[in-house]
Amino acid sequence: MYAIVNIAGQQFKVAKDQHLFVHRLQGDEGASIEFDNVLLAEDGGKFKVGTPTLKGAVVSAKIVSHLKGDKVIVFKKKRRKGYKKKNGHRQQFTKIQITGIKF
């Protein structure tokens, strides 16, 4: 059984007991959260497709931890002009564990 769910503006294929890294979510570590933007669900070869979402379908998850991703360096330069700009960014992530899929 798996489902395709919209979490924080991105679509993920999720299954029970799977760990995911998603953009930072509100909530404390250990808290339970539910996602109701389920686009597709599959169970034993039977598919249910939403238009655009499935009514009454819920994916429940538990927040495992909050963490930061790897640093990405952004470097801009214009040759022969003396212009150089260096900037870095670390994306905030939340690690979640899928605890159940209901549809």
pLDDT digits (tens, 9 = 90+) for 26-64: 999 999 999 999 999 999 999 999 999 999 999 999 999
pLDDT > 90 fraction of the chain, expressed in percent and rounded? 99
Alpha-carbon distance of 7 to 25, in angstroms, equals: 9
Predicted confidence (pLDDT) at residue 103 exceeds the cutoff of 90: no
pLDDT for position 94? 97
Strand partners, 3: 14, 41
Alpha-carbon distance of 43 to 31, in angstroms, equals: 27
Q: How many Å separate Cα 76 from the centre of its chain?
A: 30
The structure tokens listed for 95 are 């690690």
The one-letter amino acid at 78: K
